Amino acid sequence: MSIVDGASQEALNRGGAQVHAVHLKLGALSGVMKDALLFSYGLACEGTLLEGSELVIEDVPVVVYCNTCEAEKTLDSIQRFCCPTCGTLTADLVSGKQLELVAIEIGDGPDDIETRMETSQLEGVSL
Q: Hey, what amino acid is at 46?
A: E
The larger pLDDT score, comparing residue 77 to residue 117, is at 77
pLDDT digit string, tens, across residues 43-62: 999 998 899 999 999 999 99
pLDDT digit string, tens, across residues 92-112: 999 999 999 898 888 765 555
What's residue 118's pLDDT? Answer: 47
Extended beta strands in 35-122, E state: 54-60, 63-66, 71-74, 93-95, 99-106, 114-121
The whole model's pTM is what? Answer: 0.78
Say which CATH architecture domain 1-60+96-127 belongs to: 2-Layer Sandwich (3.30)
- All structural domains of the chain with their residue ranges: 1-60+96-127, 62-95
Per-residue pLDDT band at 3 (split at 50, 70, 90): confident
The answer on pLDDT for 8 being more than 70 is: yes
pLDDT digit string, tens, across residues 25-47: 999 999 999 999 999 999 999 99
Residue 28: which of 76, 61, 56 has the closest Cα? Answer: 61
